[in-house]
Structure 1
Amino acid sequence: MRNIKLISANCCGEVGDVIIEGVEPPPGKTLLEQSYFLKKNKKLWEFILNEPRGGVFKHVNLLVPPKNPKADMGFIIMEPMDLPPMSGSNSICVATVLLEKNIIPIKNSNMKITLEAPGGLIEVEAECENQKVKKVSITNLPSFVVDLDKNISVPGLGDLTVSTAYGGDSFVLVNNSDINIEIKPENADKIVDICSKITKSASEQLGFKHPQLDNLNYISFCMLMDKPFINSLDNLEGKNTVCIRPKKLDRSPCGTGSSARLAYMYKKNQIKIQQLFESKSILGTSFECYIKEEIAISNIKAIVPVLTGQAWITGEQTLYLDENNPFPQGYRLTDTWPSI
């Protein structure tokens, strides 16, 4: 019998557990290749994410040695249906686990480390006190709009104007003024039904193409956005929620989604470089976000987003790999694991 040790963590309510022992790095010359291997091989991914060890609500990160010499640690994100290039909430969970569990010792109150995600390098700055991480700021991957204000037809909803963007993964962005549903926990089931239809329709009618990630040729997520406003602190604020495949809502404000939204807002002249934006989740948790700078990616105008949030370690878990277990890769039932 072999053991896998996980640290249970969440960022702003979104689960982002971290495997710290018991799994050898997968084959691959890059983290992206390693991620592709895990998705194709399925064994670890399904063992960890499927019932009875996991569930559709769960994300798990595998720590691996970095390939880039500039990085302190690499991590591969495993989500219910995808292994994305990047995740904001998961990277904050990973940074918190690395520091609080002394994998990377906390040496001062302002720790700066570099993480390598499958999509690239992530600069991390963690504010620490009494060997605890109080908040984490990440400089995310360059983010950009692919299609702006395009019309699609959605079954049951009719014609909608949407945009697509990359913020570390692929998104279709929808203004809630066109849907008119309050973003609150009681409406989560209705929101995932609506957003999953939009994701499917946008993928079929618009498609998606990343200039550097050939395998990212589909839309992963749908972000439903309330109109931004100036809050009592004189900062720009906006509520949003993200539908993750197969059908669940991100409990956090979604770091990659917030990055995609920043790119969209910048394109629409709704935000300036260095202007603070408070991205609010369906639970009322928030990321403080801003655009660090504008850059070009393969002749595409992009922005560099910075996000700040907090993660909490909630426990530890040891999973047993037992050859006699009747469900070595787990199972999925449609009562809790929706079909798409």
Structure 2
Amino acid sequence: MSGPAGQAPPGDRVVVEAVDYHTAGEPFRIVTAGLPPVPGDSVAERRAVAIGAGGSATSPRPSALDRIRQLLSREPRGHAGMYGGFLVPPDDDGAQLGVLFWHKDGYSTACGHGTMALAAWAVDCGLVGAPEDGTARVRIDVPSGRVTAAVHRSGGRTTAVAFRNVPARIGARRLPVATSRGRVAVDLVHAGACYASVRAADLGIDVGTEQLPELTAAGREIRAALAGEPAARHLADPRLSGVYGVILYQELPDGPSGPSQRSVTVFADGQVDRSPCGSGSSARLALLAADGLLAPGEELRHESVIGTVFTGRLLGAHPDGVLTEITGATHRTGEHRFLLDGDDPLGTGFLL
């Protein structure tokens, strides 16, 4: 357990407003009020500022921004599986929104399920105009670049969101990695974040909720083994380097529209994605295409560990890899006004 931290000074009060969504079961908490300004000329620069202000051994007190991340991702206001985003200005007028993605361990460079939720929120709250029946386009600047989401509407309701990711580029194929379950072959793909893909059967594990402890342990072990791996370095932006998540997958029988897989993504320090992982789905598409297992016009049915589904398809080649589109459903789950009183002994909370 991580103990209480970030207590407000006596008499001080922190008030944060947020709207919660889930995308295929994975939470996404959108902070709409109560944030301090985050300096920087781009979303990527603001993420670097947020990371640098998160505290250290010599200066352990986190910034006001990072205290809010802790407040919302820790109990009793959050939980160890919480994910969310801080709204920030976009890089320029070409996008309507900018976002810093966060989780219990820090700030990520990409988040497909969060992009879908944020696009739905932008339409639902009227920030981006949308037809009663039809599609609205939402352009969002994220730390790894600009992504676009198509929000599909019917009868005045959002029915699905399809997001087009930054290019997905394969970094390495069949890297040998030693684990406590034996040596396995790992594929690395940069798809907004760097993902390591491993066939779960090679570890002797099925992808299912009953196997989550084993899957989580294997994901953490593989990620640790890949620390410093040269193929995990991003060619253009070192801030995007390093393995973020490990995708443990298994093949399912092909469907009428193409291949089908079930996977679980273990990211950060053992956090489990309840959805099929949006940007991780892009990584899987790049590998299937490279192996000739996904033909033009076919779709990947990508199932999560809890049985929810994303649909992925290739859009074409790009100088930096392949372009992909991931479609899923996202739903609002709550609207919140979180408080932290200065005399609360738990401060910004705790993690179990």
Which TM-score applies when normalising by structure 2? 0.88
Cα offset for 1:321? 4.2
- Separation in 1 of the partners of 2:158 and 2:27? 17
- Separation in 1 of the partners of 2:31 and 2:95? 18
Does residue 120 (structure 1) correspond to residue 139 (structure 2)? The answer is: no
Q: In the alignment, what sits opposite 1:183? A: 207
After superposition, the C-alpha distances for 1:142-201 in whole angstroms (9 at most, x for unaligned) are: 1111011111212x1221111111121111110123123221111111110111111111
Cα offset for 1:311? 0.6
Structure 1 letter corresponding to 2:270: K
Conserved? CA contact 2:182–2:203, under 8 Å: no
- Separation in 2 of the partners of 1:190 and 1:13? 21
Structure 2 letter corresponding to 1:11: T
Conserved? CA contact 2:171–2:231, under 8 Å: no
Q: In the alignment, what sits opposite 1:211? A: 235
Does residue 330 (structure 1) correspond to residue 342 (structure 2)? The answer is: no
Does residue 147 (structure 1) correspond to residue 172 (structure 2)? The answer is: yes
Q: In the alignment, what sits opposite 1:264? A: 287
* Correspondences of 1:58-207 after superposition (within 5 Å): 58-109=82-133, 110-154=135-179, 156-204=180-228
**1:33 is matched with which residue: 45, 61, 69?**
45
More divergent stretch after superposition (319-328 vs 39-48): 319-328
**2:300 is matched with which residue: 243, 264, 277?**
277
Conserved? CA contact 2:257–2:299, under 8 Å: no
- SS at structure 2 position matched to 1:96: helix
Conserved? CA contact 2:249–2:264, under 8 Å: yes
Q: 1:287 to 1:276 in 2, by over 3 A?
A: same
Q: 1:281 to 1:249 in 2, by over 3 A?
A: same
- Separation in 2 of the partners of 1:252 and 1:112? 23
Cα offset for 1:61? 0.9
Q: 1:255 to 1:245 in 2, by over 3 A?
A: same
- Separation in 2 of the partners of 1:308 and 1:29? 31
Structure 1 letter corresponding to 2:144: G
- SS at structure 1 position matched to 2:122: helix
After superposition, the C-alpha distances for 1:77-132 in whole angstroms (9 at most, x for unaligned) are: 10222312211101111111121222334334211121111111111111113332
Conserved? CA contact 1:236–1:278, under 8 Å: yes
More divergent stretch after superposition (92-101 vs 137-146): 92-101
**1:305 is matched with which residue: 324, 334, 344?**
324
- SS at structure 2 position matched to 1:215: helix
* Correspondences of 1:219-234 after superposition (within 5 Å): 219-227=243-251, 229-231=253-255, 233-234=256-257
Q: In the alignment, what sits opposite 1:9? A: 21
- Separation in 1 of the partners of 2:154 and 2:50? 36
Count, aligned residues:
327
- SS at structure 1 position matched to 2:221: helix
Conserved? CA contact 1:240–1:280, under 8 Å: yes
Conserved? CA contact 2:137–2:148, under 8 Å: yes
Which TM-score applies when normalising by structure 1? 0.90
Cα offset for 1:19? 0.9
- SS at structure 2 position matched to 1:196: helix
Unaligned runs of 5+ in 1: none
